[in-house]
Every structure is written in C-alpha cells, then in structure tokens.
C-alpha cells in the first residue's frame, strides 16, 4: 500500500472512530509502527489529525475533513435518517438543500419522487440526475472542493429569486445555545440564505453533530422546524432541543 493510500485509509478510519492507536493502525495497514508514526506526523503537519500519546484523533482545528472522508462516518445512522426524511417529503414539493453527507443520503431516497430540487451542491445534483422524476436547479458560485458546494456571490444571488417549500440542511454542529453552525463562513452564508427562502427548515444530523459548535453560524435554533437524527442519544439529551420548540424525530 503506497503512502497516499495509507493516508486515505487512516482518515477514513478516523472519520468512523474518532481516535485510533498507532498499534491498531500498524495491524490494519500491515506496516511497521515507525511507518505509521511518519504518516501521522505528515497528516498532523497538514492539520488533518491531532497526534496523541500512542495514537491520533481527528483535528479540532478550524477546518473539516474533506467530503470523501466524512461520507463513511456514522454511515448506517445517516442512511436511516435519509430514508426517514425522504419518506416525509411530499411529491411536487420544492426542496432546497446544501451538500452535507446526510443530505446526500436523503437525496438518494428522493431520486424517483417527482420533486424539484434547488441546490448549491454538486454532489446533490449528481445524485438527483440518476432519477427520472426529479427536476434539478443548480446555483451559480465558486466550487469549494472540500464540500463540493458552490459558495460566494453567485450562489447567494441565485437563491434571492426562489422560494422553497422546504430547506433540507446538513450541518457541522447544532446546539441550543448557538444554533446551526458550519466550519466555513462562505458555506454558512449560502445555507443561511437558503433557510431564509424556505417555508420550513429541516436539519438532518447524526448524533455526533448534536451539541457541537463550529465557527460559522448558519441560523439560530429558532429557525429550525424539524431536527431529524438517529436513535443514539437519549431522550434526556434531546429534551433541550424539544423545549426550544424544535420537533425532534429519531430514525
């Protein structure tokens, strides 16, 4: 296995587990612990991971992992969320959505439903064109490679002239105190504009996003009508969201 492949495997496993030891990585990659340490040091220098004593965790810095490494994190939970959210969407609705990995799971279940989708996300548009019933409108803007989303003035301006029945929003964090948040300000601003153009806002997020706070604010929690999540967190953990007026649905 060449170095680039090892780095991809390390980041993929970290996206799933959050932390992993040098010893376990050595066995998994079938290389020496010295090789693993060199790999981890390089990833640390690139600010993708945080070195710990005897292992590594995901970086806690101001930026997130690339999209391809987030896809596999909590994948089964995301798939259940996606199926449930899609089942609640009615035919002929106009759906606005950003490019989160959980949103992509919803879209996979919408491809054969006659809906209209407005999105700033290339990954969402690609998923939707596989279906024969849906119509897709893609905003303008500059492509952000880390999330496959179009951001900037072009994306914002495209949303000024639309009204959507439902904004389907993937997030990097959602908390009672700080609302819905993202890693990237440009990404957050476009998603905020989308929520402002929507009659109703649904956040789709697995349990790892609940309680997390990221640097860029998308919207206050008061803007969210439904929070669709998985069944990992307890009723006690979800109660503050319900008390804030959000309908919480567990898949």
Report pLDDT digits (tens) over 169-221. Answer: 999 999 999 999 998 888 899 999 999 999 999 999 999 899 988 888 999 99
Cβ within 8 Å of residue 88, ≥6 positions away? none
* Tens of pLDDT, residues 130-178: 776 789 999 999 998 878 999 998 999 999 999 999 999 999 999 999 9
Sign of the dihedral defined by the CA atoms of residues 180, 214, 9, 129, in that order: positive
8 A C-beta contact, residue 155 and residue 140? yes
CATH of 3-61, one of 3.40.1360.10, 1.10.10.10, 3.40.800.10, 2.40.50.1040: 1.10.10.10
8 A C-beta contact, residue 12 and residue 1? no
* Tens of pLDDT, residues 56-96: 886 654 455 666 666 667 788 999 999 999 999 999 999 99
Supply the pLDDT for residue 15. 65
8 A C-beta contact, residue 178 and residue 219? no
Q: Write down the pTM of the prediction.
A: 0.77
Residue 104 in this model has a pLDDT that exceeds 90: yes
Query: Between vectors from CA 185 to CA 249 and to CA 206, what angle results, nearest 5°?
Result: 20
Gap between the Cα atoms of 39 and 168, Å rounded: 37
Give residue limits of the domains in the chain: 3-61, 69-250
For domain 69-250, the question of CATH label 2.130.10.10 is answered with no
Cβ within 8 Å of residue 70, ≥6 positions away? 15, 64, 101
């Amino acid at each position: 296995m060449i170095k680039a492949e090892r780095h991809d495997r390390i980041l993929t496993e970290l996206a799933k587990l959050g932390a992993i030891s040098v010893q376990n990585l050595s066995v998994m990659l079938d290389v020496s612990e010295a090789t693993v340490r060199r790999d981890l040091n390089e990833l640390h220098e690139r600010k993708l991971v945080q070195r710990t004593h005897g292992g590594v965790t995901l970086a806690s810095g101001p930026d997130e992992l690339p999209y391809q490494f987030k896809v596999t994190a909590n994948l089964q939970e995301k798939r259940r969320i996606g199926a449930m959210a899609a089942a609640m969407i009615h035919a002929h609705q106009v759906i606005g959505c950003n490019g989160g990995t959980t949103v992509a799971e919803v879209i996979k279940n919408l491809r054969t439903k006659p809906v209209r989708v407005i999105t700033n996300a290339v990954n969402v548009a690609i998923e939707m064109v596989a279906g024969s019933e849906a119509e897709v409108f893609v905003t303008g803007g500059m492509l952000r490679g880390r999330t496959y989303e179009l951001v900037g003035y072009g994306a914002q301006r495209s949303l000024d002239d639309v009204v959507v029945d439902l904004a389907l929003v993937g997030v990097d964090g959602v908390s009672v105190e700080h609302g819905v948040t993202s890693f990237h300000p440009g990404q957050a601003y476009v998603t905020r504009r989308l929520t402002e153009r929507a009659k109703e806002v649904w956040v789709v997020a697995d349990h790892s996003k609940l309680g997390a706070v990221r640097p860029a604010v998308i919207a206050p929690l008061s803007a969210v009508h439904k929070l669709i999540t998985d069944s990992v967190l307890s009723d006690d953990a979800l109660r503050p969201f319900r008390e804030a007026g959000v309908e919480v649905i567990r898949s």
